[in-house]
Amino acid sequence: MKDPTYELVASWTVDVGDQDQVVNIWRYQKGYSKANETRQLLRSDQTLKSLMLDQSKMLRSRQNQFMMAFSFWGHPVPAVRDSCYEMRSYVLKPGTMIEWGNNW
């Protein structure tokens, strides 16, 4: 049964740059509390732990990030597109997040 509090919004592979990557974007309707509940389940369910162990044999590395969208972006929605995306990351000076978002 689908849990309505989270959904897979996007999933793609990387073709340029650090290849053999898969990027998945999950949206948690109830924010960090639901994301934390999901992480706890992954650590406690023996079937999921076994699956993660099997997957780890194929992974070079794995990285998870929890992020919140700026209010002016709105919430992402699942879509089927034949598109190319550029992914960027910024490291901001402490205390400048609101200013950066306002200037964006």
pLDDT above 80 (res 10): yes
Report the candidate in 28, 90, 77, 75 with the shortest Cα–Cα distance to residue 103: 90
Structural domain includes residue 1 = no
Structural domain includes residue 13 = yes
Amino acid in the structure at residue 55: Q
**DSSP tag of 93:** P
- Residue 71 confidence class, pLDDT cut points 50, 70, 90: confident
The domain of 85 spans 6-103
Structural domain includes residue 92 = yes
**How many structural domains is the chain composed of?**
1
Structural domain includes residue 49 = yes
pTM of the model: 0.63
Structural domain includes residue 21 = yes
What DSSP line would sit under 48-94, residue for residue? HHHHHHHHHTT-S----------GGG------------------PPT
